[in-house]
Each structure stands twice: as structure tokens, then as C-alpha cells.
Structure 1
Amino acid sequence: MSTHKLPGYGSTLRTARRLTEQAVRLVDRAVPGRMPDVEVVLTTERGMVDLMVAADIALAGHADRRALNRAVRQSRRTARDCQARAIPKPDGGVLVLIDADKHPTPGAFAVTLVHELVHAVQFSRRGVRERIVRDTRAALGVERQTGRQAREHVRLLKQEESEAYGCEHLADQLIPGATATATAAA
């Protein structure tokens, strides 16, 4: 658990550390698969862009100028629209980026954290990491994938998102009423 370009959020970081330790154990028991090493980083929207670009380039294994520009554009769009993102790391771990400014309450943070940790467990399943690497390389223009592979990735991504949304109720075990406050804040 760390921060990136986020000064003055000491109490938020302490709360996040406590919730993360509990959420990792909870999700590891509840979701099929194994929990990899997870690095959680609290940041801002701008910090998310920096970290997503670095993670995508590391995952793709290639960093020419065009790939870097595509990664920056894609990361800016993603950071504007999302609250958090889980990204597999080349070493087998997972990087979970969370925009602290988009989480006004510990309950909202707990729901997002559980959602992203479910994705972390999903990355440990057979073939998922390789599929994500292939799609990232295709998105950055490093390597082409077939239309069939792209459609399969989108279909499986929808299933994985459904599973993650379905497990958000686990956040209520961390903070009672967390899902109710998260839906009210959204």
C-alpha cells in the first residue's frame, strides 16, 4: 500500500491499509483462484495516468514512441472514466490503482477495493494473464490479434466484470452498509 502524487492523505492511507489487509483475506477466501501479490496505490486522476502508462508499457514489453503515445491517450480516457483499475504486472503480481478523490467515504473505497481484488484473483486463472497481455499489445499497436481473439476477450471481460460486481457485497463485511453508501454516492 502506497501513494503516488498524493500529499496530505495520511488518515486516508491508514484507513486504506487497514481495509486492504482485511479485503485481501476476504476476497481470497470467497473467490475461486489464488490471490497474487497485490500492490495497491492511492493516487489522483493525473497520477493514475502516469502509473497506467508505465504498467501497460511494462506489460506489453515494448516502448516505441507510437506505443507510448497510444498508451498515454488510452490511459487519459480510462482515468477520466474510472475510479480504479487492476493491471497484471509482468512478474506475476497485480497493480491496483485507486483514485482517492473519487472515494468520499470508506464504504465507497471498500466496495471499489473488493471489486479490484476480485480482478486480481481472476488474473491468476489459467489463460487470463496471457489474454490480457495479448490485448494490451494489440491496443498499443505492438502486435496484432485476430478478430476472433478480440471478440473472445471482450466476451470474457464482460463475464469477469459481472463476477466482480457480483462480489461487491463482500464489502459489507468490511464496513457494514458499504454497498448502500457506495450506490447512494454514485
Structure 2
Amino acid sequence: MKVRTHHLIGSRSLKHTVTATAPAAARVVHDHFGRRPLATPEIILTTPRGLAQLAHTTQADAANIPYEKRTAVELSLTAKPRQLYEATVIAPKEGVLVLLNARKLRSSRDVALTLVHAFVHVDQLNRKGSRALRIRHLQHEFHVQALHPSQVREFARLLKEEEAEAQHLEGRLVDQMQRAA
């Protein structure tokens, strides 16, 4: 699993912890769902500002947003990047990118919880129709193609359900992962 840093200085031990923990986190999530292979995301450790920038650019590329539409648009996902532990976003070529906010990862337990949470989101992005739905929502947020208000509410409801699922599973799956180690 590829782990790299973006605009981050002095994070060698954190990168090592993430690199060592990621395969076990992916395995425990895959074993829990077991219905499909888990996509192998690229994992990037970054700052809150880097997280917002990478999420913005990567999702715009994945949704084929014209460059003139990308400026001055703040995405709902990254409106408050300092509060995020991670952001799992679609990437071009059917890829998935896991962006980790290094400022929030203070212990190995934080790393494990955040990675398990992120891999649950990776599984959710692999579900049928999920990528297409996110592209439509991104086109709405970038003012390329408007959605009906009921579609926006439905997408917000889906995101809340997915976040609740990830939060519900993270602690239990991390405990399983640590027992197996």
C-alpha cells in the first residue's frame, strides 16, 4: 500500500506507523464486509490545508470539472479541514485517495481508528452507483450541473448514513485488528 506525504515536514515516524498499520486496517475491513475486493487507495499524510487542496483538485479531476469552474468553490466535504481526521475521495481512473490530517493523528490508536474509518469509506465508494452519485454531486457543487433540492437532501442523508456506519464500525474493527496482531 502506497503512503506518501504532502507539504509535511518531520513526519517520518508517523509515516512509518501509517505504513505499518494500513494493511491490517484494510484486511479487517475487507474481512468484515467480505463481499468484494477492497480497492487499494493511495494514502497521503498532509496538513489540514493540504487535505483541502488535494481533495478539491483530485475530486475535480475525477469529475472532469472544467478548470474555469474550479476556482473559488469551497466543497462541503472540506469546508472545515482542521476538524477532519481524514477525507476519502474519488480520484481519476476509478481511483480512491485517502487523505490523512497528520495534525490529528497523535497516537497509534488514532492512526488505527482513522485508517479503519477511511477503509470503511473506501468500501462505501466501491458500492454500486456510489462513484456516479459523487460525480453528480461534485458537478452540482462546482456549479456545472445543478441538482434538484430533493437530490441534494438525499445525498446529504446518504453521507450521514455512511459516516454513521463508519463511526459505528471503527472501534470494534480496531479492537479486532489489535487482537489479531
Asked if 1:166 corresponds to 2:141, the answer is no
Residue 48 of structure 1 corresponds to which residue in structure 2? Answer: 51
Q: Which TM-score applies when normalising by structure 2? A: 0.88
| 5+ residue gaps, structure 1 | 177-186
For residue 148 of structure 1, report the CA deviation from its aligned partner.
2.5
Residue 62 of structure 1 corresponds to which residue in structure 2? Answer: 65
For residue 59 of structure 1, report the CA deviation from its aligned partner.
2.2
Matches within 5 A, 1:34-113: 34-71=37-74, 77-113=79-115
Question: Which structure: greater helix fraction?
Answer: 1
Asked if 1:23 corresponds to 2:31, the answer is no
Equivalents in 2 of 1:142, 1:81: separation in Å?
Answer: 28
Equivalents in 1 of 2:77, 2:150: separation in Å?
Answer: 25
Residue 142 of structure 2 corresponds to which residue in structure 1? Answer: 140
Which residue of 131, 153, 156 corresponds with 2:155?
153
Q: Residue 46 of structure 2 contacts residue 102 of structure 2 at CA under 8 Å; is this kept in 1?
A: yes
Residue 118 of structure 1 corresponds to which residue in structure 2? Answer: 120
For residue 160 of structure 1, report the CA deviation from its aligned partner.
1.0
Residue 5 of structure 1 corresponds to which residue in structure 2? Answer: 7
Q: Which TM-score applies when normalising by structure 1? A: 0.86
Q: Which amino acid aligns with 1:157?
A: L
Residue 184 of structure 1 corresponds to which residue in structure 2? Answer: none
Deviates more, 1:73-82 or 1:94-103: 73-82
Q: Deviations over 1:7-43 (max 9, x none)?
A: 2111111111010011111111112443112111111
Q: Residue 59 of structure 1 contacts residue 88 of structure 1 at CA under 8 Å; is this kept in 2?
A: yes
Equivalents in 1 of 2:11, 2:77: separation in Å?
Answer: 24
| 5+ residue gaps, structure 2 | none
Among the aligned pairs, what percent are the same residue? 31
Equivalents in 2 of 1:171, 1:41: separation in Å?
Answer: 20
Runs of 4+ in 1 over 4 A off after TM superposition: 73-76
Aligned CA RMSD, in angstroms, stands at 1.8
Q: Which amino acid aligns with 2:150?
A: R
Q: Deviations over 1:120-173 (max 9, x none)?
A: 011111111111111111011111112222122112112111111111021123
For residue 44 of structure 1, report the CA deviation from its aligned partner.
0.9
Equivalents in 2 of 1:21, 1:36: separation in Å?
Answer: 12
